Amino acid sequence: MVHKACAKTAVVRSTNPGAVTIANDELLHTLTNEDVIKQLKTWEAQKSTNAMFKSLMNYIHRVETILYFVEASRN
């Protein structure tokens, strides 16, 4: 479904001023309706025994924390 949402918004021309808003709305709608976050957490729990996966996820969580800090400091 996420792929379908991205493909649907790719049809909208980038010169259209509302293209980003349309793409964002479509992706947000798909992410909330398909419960992607729950599926990702389940997937992460299943893979947590792999050392390489754990180190990569730790790195991703650090990057997320930095991005949250940057966002908070701009507002």
pLDDT band at 14 (very low <50, low <70, confident <90, very high): low
Mean pLDDT for all residues in the chain = 80
Q: Would the pLDDT of 61 be above 80? A: yes
Give 22-48 pLDDT, tens digit per residue. Answer: 778 888 888 788 887 788 888 888 888
Quickly list DSSP for the chain.
-HHHHHHHHHTS-TTSTTHHHHHHHHHHHHHHHTTHHHHHHHHHHHHTT-HHHHHHHHHHHHHHHHHHHHHHHH-
